[in-house]
Chains A and B, each alone.
Chain A
């Protein structure tokens, strides 16, 4: 189970990389494994404003449809269009080529966990 340092994590198993006022969102290794083979990703519209913990994307595995929640509030400024053709990147590179969207941060969340805290959370 990969849990890279330097990212923040949510209880819903999303990760966020915060660089200045830009945040990149994705799902954790644990999440992609639990979801199984991902065959479809519905990306949000550019310009959409999302609240922390609001569903901003949908991933579909062979059997299930799952909402993906925003770790922090912001405005969607970029989406990973690669996932439209290669949704399996979420499985193979959840922290890299499988990122989902970038936002311009409009608010912070105190619900985020460090990698160590997320590791403990998963063990509980």
Chain B
């Protein structure tokens, strides 16, 4: 009987990153950094990369590997992850470990079916992959014939065997979010409201590796403190995907009052949004973000018609990314549910876009309409004033 020592570790698989060419190392290093930073919150883990995979190991046996797994599979760049048994040894060792491993998968309440799938990276190992599967399956059946039966088509669980310089056994494969590691896709400024869309937009850009700051326009007391808390709660949920996130809260009340008193009611929403974009662009320069990100979707509301979007775009010199532009609202809602922002987004506290909304806002404003509505406003003064009224909350 061989000594049945093994390490329990987490194996994370990478997707798109492995297709990268010369800068693949940069992507991998960033991914390892992101996973490490996430795990630092819950304990002491080593995170190393080998053979196009990332291995996560607890530094001592006090660490909660299951919690770590949960964090690992929320890091962009990870395709999937598994808790694995890892050990060195020969065929006898493999068979003994596989039986012990299968025992941990047995459901005491019922007889289950299983199969074995093997991969052999170490060509020195004396058996081929199909032979490994067959020998391991046989050993498990002999030991646990009263609990298990073989079903290669629809098994209740699969024992995966990977033979490389070490041998790995695992049965669970937890899907990750895929995408690219945050920090490899540049830096953007997300216009975050309390709604359903903008957190999803932030999530989508983060999934392409973009690092984010967020800006929220707060018009207290037209928007209540609860609205502000709601936005911060949404941002906090987003940090599970984006990593560190700073929310810049612009005190927008006085500007909103000035705009309301100055502009025709049917142009107020557009003028307000143009002002927000200008302030956001100025803030983006300050935090060195290269692009603005919004949750707008074409035609969703009056301020998101093509004309309205064009009218707001003209006031900023940087690109505006709108990852939801072609998405149906239902798909956005599904995504919001999946990333955990939906329940918070639907809390009934309004954002400042809706406080003074006209009964019939202009749906097809021309640039000339907007310019005319803003005539006489000290735009530069207002933007400058807003920049002095920003509170930063680092999450």
Binding between chains A and B: no
Residues on A facing B (Cβ under 8 Å): none
